[in-house]
A and B are shown apart, each in its own frame.
Chain A
């Protein structure tokens, strides 16, 4: 989409972005594992202005029954935004955007979850966006992956997600809301950091082939930063001072 005229300076001549970050600096990321009592696993994430809760149930009986798979478990995922999570009230019914995001998040987690161990069952991942900022699908994925691990569900690897994009003709890490709206491209990426596999990639906006490669590189480096925060969240839950 063409660039809209704007008063915001997305990138100043010193290479500082509209929220004061440098081009390869992510926003503040805080993850806490095990925040819900009833869910089998859960996590809360603050990623920039994103505030997101993820809860995992299962493996458990599939309902409705005909969805069950006899040779492996299934994964279900719901990404849902609260009406008050954005500036204009959002209709609480799931939008087409939310349905698509639920699908891509499910497909980003699925390669990591060892569903073959749990035939005829389902693992449900529920994600509630309490406050939305740019990059909410990546933040949601980060929380969901930690919640899956918190639930003790066998996984091949963590899934870590971060976006990169193009702002003022420059590839930058972790696009915020203003940059998403006024910038030139947004590329969310999810990575299984130890297996080196990218399980989610989308792109909105125009990139040259060189920028495309650089954008993937930048996003992958962001995923690796997120991975450290995810590990720390799990370490804190199970081995930290507050661990029971």
Chain B
């Protein structure tokens, strides 16, 4: 996405502050920005959420419909999660086919939820190898202030928690929707992604756009309800030492647990 162009002065200020362990917006190093989650914002979607992470805003909607299963996974429902940055989110966003940053964003958000096994897809089979329920989670970034990974991830998880799955019955090999009946999604765990930036020797949780623009490297770690790690993506033009990676793992578990409580409350479960 947009690599915010920060002038040298701002970058100098950020690094100078960090030497004393301070951040440009006054947060502690391991403190995420305020997270606001509203669910059910799009009534026509089977599940939805609007998430604000600081000034980053994401709208997420879920559509649920019967579909053919993947050829090698006939006994599982389908889960697909995407993310896109809308041109109104930032002046530098252009319309057209998605670039590598947007593709990475969508794949990392999808991977975190998929690898955690959040939704028990074996319960979404209408007829084995023929018809399964597909859950399509689409994130739209509507305002940009850094760290889209976590904003989209929280929006997706909150939408999944709040979604209602319509009921279908198979009649003559075709799925027929049963009006007025819905079921709750089969949730097994609550994945929470925590994205950290490394600037110099400091690890910063939930970098804002200014910090995002001058970080050396970043890492997104998704943890599940049991406090285990289920997905990682490193990015950025520099690396991490092994000690820093271990520290990032610990931060993601501790911070993830706090954020999980926030998502749980609004998710209605």
Interface residues of A (CB under 8 A from B): 1-2, 96-97, 99-100, 102-104, 107, 110-111, 187, 192, 195-209, 212-213, 216-217, 220
With A206-B116, A208-B228 already in contact, 8 other A-B pairs whose C-beta atoms are closer than 8 Å: A100-B104, A104-B234, A110-B238, A198-B239, A201-B234, A202-B232, A204-B111, A212-B246
Contacts of B232 in A (CB 8 A): 187, 201-203
Interface SS majority for chain A? mixed
Contacts of B104 in A (CB 8 A): 99-100, 103-104
**Counting chain B CB atoms within 10 Å of each CB, which of A111, A187, A198, A207 scores highest?**
A198
Task: Evaluate contact between B242 and A198: CB separation under 8 angstroms.
Answer: yes
Task: Evaluate contact between B240 and A216: CB separation under 8 angstroms.
Answer: no
Q: Does B161 contact A (CB under 8 A)?
A: no
Contact of A201 among B106, B237, B245 (CB under 8 A): B245
Contact of A192 among B116, B231, B239 (CB under 8 A): B239
The size of the chain B interface, using a CB distance under 8 A, is: 35
Q: Mark B240-265, 1 if CB is under 8 A from A, else 0.
A: 11100110011001000000000000
CB within 8 Å for A111 and B234 given contacts A201-B219, A204-B111, A209-B228: no
Q: Does B229 contact A (CB under 8 A)?
A: yes
Task: Evaluate contact between A197 and B240: CB separation under 8 angstroms.
Answer: yes
Q: Does B170 contact A (CB under 8 A)?
A: no
Contacts of A1 in B (CB 8 A): 114-115, 117
CB within 8 Å for A200 and B227 given contacts A216-B245, A216-B246: no
CB distance from B80 to the nearest CB of A (A): 12
Q: Does B87 contact A (CB under 8 A)?
A: no
State the CA gap A233–B109 with chains docked (Å).
Answer: 38
29 contacts between A and B (CB under 8 A): A1-B117, A2-B117, A96-B103, A97-B107, A99-B104, A100-B100, A100-B103, A103-B100, A103-B104, A104-B233, A110-B237, A111-B238, A187-B232, A192-B239, A196-B242, A197-B239, A197-B240, A198-B242, A199-B239, A200-B234, A201-B219, A201-B232, A202-B233, A203-B115, A203-B231, A205-B230, A206-B116, A209-B228, A220-B242
